Structure 1
Amino acid sequence: MSASTPGNVPAAAAATAPAWGADSEVGRLRTVMLHRPGPELKRLTPRNNDKLLFDGIPWVSRAQEEHDAFAEALRARDVEVLYLTELLTQTLESPEAREQAITSALSGLHLGDTLRTYLGAALRDASPAELTEVLTAGIRNDEVRGGHGLVTSLFAPDDFLVDPLPNLLFTRDSSVWVRDHVAVTSLAMPARARETQLTELIYTLHPRFAGSRRIHGWHNEYVEGGDVLLLSPGVIAVGVGERSTPAGVERLARQVFHAGLAHTVLAVPIAQERATMHLDTVCTMVDVDKIVMYPNVADSLRAYAVTLGGDATPADVAGEARELAESGLTLDVAPAEPFLVAAARAMGIEALHQIDTGLDPVTAEREQWDDGNNTLALAPRVAVAYERNDETNDRLEESGIEVVRIAGSELGSGRGGPRCMSCPVLRDPLPA
């Protein structure tokens, strides 16, 4: 990327940077974090793509073209685009950040002391940009120029010593802003574990995010950002399925209640399948009271409303009772009820209106697989969607939603749409 891209933010910009945060999925989007596909995608082969969670081998240059068009569509709507790798490179100017990143990358038990010592010395000599590439694209055994011991002798030439991170493309998963706090998440799949550690490094040590308040963390129970929907100010829905666990949702609920960030968390069980890996693969918000939803699960989707137990309120916990440890909070869990009913009640609206994916069960299944439900709202009634999902996009427009269509034939090979590929860092608050 050129030196003029918005991700290149000098340390001095931290003093004038706006406060970060989001209280909904649909407030006017101001700043977003993306990751432009890079050399990590070139590491995918037919032998490792399943392990690295891709359904195919993407055409990398076309994926980059599609992603550049996505970023330009956002900029055309006055959205500031930050790039994760540029932020990471700037963060790695800090000796503390470099040491943390290198130690984390070389912590795998498969390396052994000889190779770990050699790689540690080599990475400490690397420039911030070189270190960023290693951390994201990985290192193969045949790329090691020294430190030969038993491990390098017995590994195959194309075995990875440090795994690549092709799913870094999906920046929504490793962090999500909840009002003025950033939840650094915990990713369930081994292929993605290091992503959230790098994200936490940026939020902790990049000058632009100085003073940002964090919750959760990569070391806690599994919760992934694709499962977290900010339905309205104070109401958070969290999918429980292949990636996010009940314990992870409970931990997140305690933390948002303790910080006074929400009054209701809806735990929403979803099928533990590849097609429905996250809640945002079956539904996303496109207006303050409208949601695009996969109709084949709409009738069966349920929610457990989690609130503070006893007489406590989020305001109490965030105010006079702030000294109360989050682990000491009592949670009330209501019986399961239909998701749309529970959501509307928690949001304080008459109904959360459903816009179906597709027109019939077969079309709905096809377009759900192609991330027809995975939209990114730029403002109320304005959403980015993959152009290939014609019938879903037509239904959105019939319901008064402006659809910004983007290409995604190559980007979608990792099973993610516009929402998956974007972490909103700043949205305008919704009117009270």
Structure 2
Amino acid sequence: MTFDNQLRVSSEVGTLRRLLIHSPDRGLGKVVPSKAQDWLFEDIVHLDTMRREEYDYYVKILLYFLDPEKVRGKIKEIDADPERLFYKPGSAAYFNSDKVVDIQKLLAEILEDDAIRVKLIASICAVERCSFRIQEKLKEYDPIELAKILISGSLPDLHMIFAPLPNFIFTRDIGIVINDHVLLNKPAKAARTRESLLTQYIFFYHPQFEGCRNNIIEIPDNEHHFLLTEDELKSDYHRSTLEGGDVMMVAPRHLLIGCSERTTLYAAQQVMKSLFERNVVDTITIVKIPKKRDYMHIDTVFTQVKRNVWVLLGSIARQGDEAKKRDVLHFFAPKEDPDRLQIMQFNKGWENKPTEIENLEDLLTDISKNDLGCNEPVEFIYSGNNEFPFGAREQWTDSCNLLALKDGVVIGYDRNDKTLEAFRAKGFQTVRAKDLLEEFEAGISSPETIQNTFIMLPSAELSRARGGSHCMSLPILRDGF
């Protein structure tokens, strides 16, 4: 396969042309209750249902929008295969798109190089503290099988040699494309270290990214990290961790970075310094959200739907501020409220005093109007229609975590009823992924003609993983405006 090395993302809602995904692998079926928290997974999922009845719709929708020749007129044939080989990298029937790219496929391709193979096996075994015999045994497998092992943690006989990577389906967190640069993550939790290492090898060695090697940014540790105490290493001001769910390329010269449970102020500062020095963007806005598991990243509390439409969680936006003003107890809260959302905007010459923005709606309105040039009124759709208790309940199942396939067309979970009501009230149609695919196959509608639509993905199992369609995507090419 040839690669054109195109890599550019300058908005959240420009028409999506290419992205990285990772289909649920056999490692997801190995998560046990006693280790779920350590492996950063919230629940025990039914792997076959997740694959066959949920994620496969996600892949088919993506292909119809990004690479329709791979899927148009073939849905019945694909669904009739009991082995589901269409979705499995390395199989003869694999869809093998260069637009919708499974990161496992890229991993297998770099493992064909013996020198890379030896280095990567040694690196992974060092991280996982494997025995020398395990390291030697891994060299016996072909690249396709070895890629499966390094991701799933299990051999072909399903014997586990190290922990699975259940979060690898959330490709957003491994990196982010900022204009023509790639920012690689620095995970906050040890459970994601192997993901980070695999990602480094893929971006630095795969031909797909050959043209952007000089534009890959890695986040440095504190230069004196080895001298810091254990308490200092846990501090936001010394620890350097960042995940892609906390980074949004909202406009060609404007980047958002969230400081959250997973991304520290120190890492945000290092990224800001690097991007300004390289002249990649002009403005970086830091959005500091509460350090809570139910929020985790900024893309769990807001995402963009259209140039002038955003979906967000009301309790941390202006809606939440207004509620606090009506609460007498708010006046007696500690001055440094840990649950307070803070927004600081920096421009080039970032050592100058930043601008503080009072609330999320003001920030998003400014992005739509001034960065994206919208003349239409800016509108907000709130999780759970901003009704108690549905706002929090539906945010937990990713009502605010949506992937825009193009301006005004998003894909998200079907289970968030009140949020879907709010979308319909704003003039959006909502359609099940299955029904939309049938329409596409019948020629009733097409990805080119569809507008202002929320595509509903089946989500009984996917939602248990605590990540939505935005999390499950790493866009590497979008159209500009």
2:63 paired with 1:75: yes
1:367 to 394, 399, 402: 394
**Displacement of 1:243:** 0.3
Aligned match of 2:424 = 397
For residues 234 and 407 of structure 1, the distance between their equivalents in structure 2, rounded to whole angstroms, comes to 35
**Displacement of 1:235:** 1.2
TM-score by length of structure 1 reads 0.82
2:355 to 330, 334, 337: 334
For residues 391 and 283 of structure 1, the distance between their equivalents in structure 2, rounded to whole angstroms, comes to 16
Aligned match of 1:152 = none
2:345 paired with 1:305: yes
Map 1:39-78 onto structure 2 (within 5 A): 39-65=26-52, 66-78=54-66
Q: Check whether the contact 2:12–2:249 (CA below 8 A) recurs between aligned residues.
A: yes
Deviation per residue, 1:139-170 (Å, 9 max, x gap): 59x988xxxxxxxxxxxxxxx65321111010
The alignment partner of 1:243 has SS state of coil
Aligned match of 1:243 = 262
Deviation per residue, 1:62-92 (Å, 9 max, x gap): 1112111101011122353111101110111
Deviation per residue, 1:262-291 (Å, 9 max, x gap): 111111111111110000010001111221
The alignment partner of 1:335 has SS state of strand
The alignment partner of 2:120 has SS state of helix
Map 1:211-290 onto structure 2 (within 5 A): 211-213=211-213, 214-217=215-218, 220=221, 221-290=240-309
2:166 paired with 1:129: no
Taking structure 1 as reference, are residues 286 and 198 closer, same or farther at Cα in structure 2, changes over 3 Å only?
same
Q: 1:427 is matched by which residue type in structure 2?
A: R
1:381 to 398, 408, 421: 408
Taking structure 1 as reference, are residues 109 and 371 closer, same or farther at Cα in structure 2, changes over 3 Å only?
closer
With 368-377 and 48-57 compared, the bigger mean Cα shift is at 48-57
Q: 1:256 is matched by which residue type in structure 2?
A: L
Deviation per residue, 1:322-355 (Å, 9 max, x gap): xxxxxxx746433353233244446616875321
Taking structure 1 as reference, are residues 346 and 332 closer, same or farther at Cα in structure 2, changes over 3 Å only?
farther
The alignment partner of 1:33 has SS state of strand
2:15 paired with 1:25: no
Deviation per residue, 1:217-247 (Å, 9 max, x gap): 2665211111111222211111111000001
Gaps of 5+ in 2: 68-98, 222-239, 322-340, 428-451
Q: 1:49 is matched by which residue type in structure 2?
A: A
Q: Check whether the contact 1:186–1:222 (CA below 8 A) recurs between aligned residues.
A: yes
For residues 211 and 5 of structure 2, the distance between their equivalents in structure 1, rounded to whole angstroms, comes to 12
For residues 352 and 216 of structure 1, the distance between their equivalents in structure 2, rounded to whole angstroms, comes to 33
Deviation per residue, 1:383-421 (Å, 9 max, x gap): 001011122123223324311111121112220001001
Aligned match of 2:210 = 210
The alignment partner of 1:108 has SS state of helix
For residues 352 and 465 of structure 2, the distance between their equivalents in structure 1, rounded to whole angstroms, comes to 36
For residues 293 and 100 of structure 1, the distance between their equivalents in structure 2, rounded to whole angstroms, comes to 43
Q: Check whether the contact 1:237–1:265 (CA below 8 A) recurs between aligned residues.
A: yes
For residues 194 and 75 of structure 1, the distance between their equivalents in structure 2, rounded to whole angstroms, comes to 28
The alignment of Structure 1 onto Structure 2 pairs a total of residues equal to 378
Taking structure 1 as reference, are residues 109 and 199 closer, same or farther at Cα in structure 2, changes over 3 Å only?
closer
Q: 2:400 is matched by which residue type in structure 1?
A: N
Taking structure 1 as reference, are residues 333 and 104 closer, same or farther at Cα in structure 2, changes over 3 Å only?
farther
2:387 paired with 1:357: no
Aligned match of 2:444 = none
For residues 339 and 372 of structure 1, the distance between their equivalents in structure 2, rounded to whole angstroms, comes to 17
Q: Check whether the contact 2:257–2:286 (CA below 8 A) recurs between aligned residues.
A: yes
Map 1:80-229 onto structure 2 (within 5 A): 80-108=99-127, 110-111=129-130, 115=131, 117-139=132-154, 161-213=161-213, 214-217=215-218, 220=221, 221-229=240-248
For residues 219 and 273 of structure 2, the distance between their equivalents in structure 1, rounded to whole angstroms, comes to 16
Give % identity.
30
For residues 39 and 201 of structure 2, the distance between their equivalents in structure 1, rounded to whole angstroms, comes to 22
The alignment partner of 1:291 has SS state of strand
2:449 paired with 1:428: no
Q: 2:391 is matched by which residue type in structure 1?
A: A
Q: Check whether the contact 2:22–2:169 (CA below 8 A) recurs between aligned residues.
A: yes
Taking structure 1 as reference, are residues 361 and 89 closer, same or farther at Cα in structure 2, changes over 3 Å only?
same
Q: Check whether the contact 2:128–2:162 (CA below 8 A) recurs between aligned residues.
A: no
The alignment partner of 1:47 has SS state of helix
The alignment partner of 1:183 has SS state of strand
TM-score by length of structure 2 reads 0.74
Aligned match of 1:154 = none
**Displacement of 1:294:** 0.6
